[in-house]
């Protein structure tokens, strides 16, 4: 009889898995929690009351704690709802037939979940819509979540950053946040204090196009595939602006969706 090869030991398998590159896919948890925290400070009394009532269906839940739920429950069916691919040109024009086939993108997801939250659907469905909205409104403000299909939103753009090999998507998801001057408290203070001048009206298409134009700006993709101090000095203010805009717009979405309840 032929002898079967012995199974790979668990230790060797874990070692191999550890060497695989991480495929970043969304704002990091810290960014999502920060955006939800700042958004909560802009909620109306009516919106706060209804949010609290819905969250009471899951005792102990808060707007901050549910901000990462969509990532924690990601599946093949929902993966495409976290981003949208736009044309690699200066206009970054969104076309629903090409950019969001059958509504399967972050723009379509925001539109559907907003309608669900504002509806008379059962509270369980509305709570789920709230969880998605808190997450997706943040996602669409990460520039590479409205990036380009040819490099998977910067996931295949490899570079050296912060002393290690990584990719541009991971830099914007986590790297710039973890290495923000002064640490997490300084970033939280900067986002909370930012007086955003962006249009806060409900416009997911414009939000995506705005993010795409950031990703299209000269210098956004580091030359030489190496991130230096000059890059962080240039782009840290954009990081703060994007997160502040996400928080303000999320608050507006929730205030308007829950105003009549």
pLDDT of 239 over the 60 cut: yes
Tell me, what's the pLDDT at 121?
Answer: 97
Q: Give the range among 5-14, 91-100, 243-252 with minimum mean pLDDT.
A: 5-14
Of the two residues 188 and 6, the one the predictor is more confident about is: 188
pTM: 0.88
Kindly state the average pLDDT of the residues 100-124: 97
Kindly state the average pLDDT of the residues 174-197: 92
pLDDT of 53 over the 90 cut: yes
CA 188 – CA 112 distance, rounded (Å): 30
pLDDT of 3 over the 70 cut: no
pLDDT band at 197 (very low <50, low <70, confident <90, very high): confident
Tell me, what's the pLDDT at 261?
Answer: 59
Tell me, what's the pLDDT at 112?
Answer: 98
In percent, the amount of the chain with pLDDT more than 90 equals 82
pLDDT band at 38 (very low <50, low <70, confident <90, very high): very high
The domain spans of the chain are 25-257
Q: Give the range among 18-22, 82-86, 126-130, 178-182 with minimum mean pLDDT.
A: 18-22
Instruction: Name which CATH class applies to 25-257.
Output: mainly alpha
pLDDT of 57 over the 80 cut: yes
pLDDT digits (tens, 9 = 90+) for 70-85: 999 999 999 999 999 9
Average pLDDT over the chain reads 89
pLDDT of 142 over the 80 cut: yes
Secondary structure (DSSP) of the chain: -PPPPPPPPHHHHHHHHHHSPP---SS-HHHHHHHHHHHHTT--HHHHHHHHHHHTTSTT--TTGGGGHHHHT--TTTGGGG-----SSSS----HHHHSGGG-SHHHHHHHHHHHHTS---HHHHHHHHHHHHHHHHHTTSGGGG--GGGTTTTT-EEEETTEEEEHHHIIIIIHHHT-TT-HHHHHHHHHH----S--SS-HHHHHHHHHHHHHSTTSS-GGGB--HHHHHHHHHHHHHHHHHHHHHHHHHHHHHTTT-
Kindly state the average pLDDT of the residues 121-149: 97
CA 123 – CA 27 distance, rounded (Å): 27
pLDDT band at 26 (very low <50, low <70, confident <90, very high): low
pLDDT of 9 over the 70 cut: no
pLDDT digits (tens, 9 = 90+) for 222-232: 999 999 999 99
Q: Give the range among 3-17, 30-44, 136-150, 239-253 with minimum mean pLDDT.
A: 3-17
CA 193 – CA 141 distance, rounded (Å): 18
């Amino acid at each position: 009889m032929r002898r079967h090869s012995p199974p790979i030991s668990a230790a060797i398998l874990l070692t191999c898995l550890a060497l695989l590159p991480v495929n970043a896919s969304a704002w990091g948890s810290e960014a999502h929690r920060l955006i939800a925290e700042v958004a909560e400070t802009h909620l109306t009394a009516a919106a706060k009351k209804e949010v609290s009532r819905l969250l009471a269906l899951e005792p102990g839940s808060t707007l901050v704690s549910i901000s990462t739920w969509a990532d924690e429950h990601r599946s093949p069916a929902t993966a495409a709802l976290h981003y949208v691919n736009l044309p690699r040109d200066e206009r970054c024009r969104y076309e629903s037939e090409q950019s969001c086939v059958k509504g399967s993108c972050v723009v379509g997801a925001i539109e559907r979940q907003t309608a669900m939250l504002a509806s008379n659907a059962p509270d369980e469905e509305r709570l789920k819509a709230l969880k998605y909205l808190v997450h997706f409104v943040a996602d669409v403000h990460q520039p590479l979540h409205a990036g380009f299909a040819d490099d998977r939103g910067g996931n295949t753009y490899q570079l050296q950053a912060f002393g290690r090999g990584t990719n541009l998507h991971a830099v914007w998801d986590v790297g710039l946040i973890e290495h923000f001057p002064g640490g997490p408290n300084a970033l939280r203070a900067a986002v909370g204090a930012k007086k955003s001048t962006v249009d806060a009206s409900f416009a997911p298409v414009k939000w995506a196009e705005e993010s795409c134009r950031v990703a299209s700006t000269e210098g956004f993709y580091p030359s030489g595939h190496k991130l230096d101090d000059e890059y962080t000095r240039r782009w840290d203010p954009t990081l703060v602006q994007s997160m502040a805009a996400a928080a303000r717009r999320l608050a507006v979405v929730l205030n308007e969706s829950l105003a009549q309840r």
